[in-house]
Amino acid sequence: MPARDYFRGHSILWRNSQWVYADNGEKAGFDGVVRSCAKCGLVFEGSNKGGSDPCLGDLPGVDSACCGHGVREKSYIRFTNGVVIRDFIIENNEE
């Protein structure tokens, strides 16, 4: 059974020494096909370059964060003091 994970909220599998999308077998990741976020639909390639997650924006006192792209257990916020919060839900109070 292949290893499973997520990339931008899309299910991926480790197959033939590379990550591929579970639904169509396309090579996934920054050296493959970068899909839009499964939650917000934005195309974002900046997290591996130090950019801000578009769902979260720039957060004061935070050096790294990811919304999880619809996969709650993949979400995290790492504060500059070393504290890390994982597995959270983003609530949109604007709706």
Read off the pLDDT of residues 65-75 as tens digits, 9 standing for 90 and up: 887 887 888 88
Q: Where are the domains of the chain?
A: 4-84
Chain-centre distance of CA 89, in angstroms?
A: 13
Q: How far, in Å, CA of 6 to CA of 35, rounded?
A: 11
Tell me the whole-structure pTM to 2 decimals: 0.67
- CB 52, CB 40: distance < 8 Å: no
Read off the pLDDT of residues 40-84 as tens digits, 9 standing for 90 and up: 888 766 555 556 666 777 788 888 788 788 788 888 888 999 999
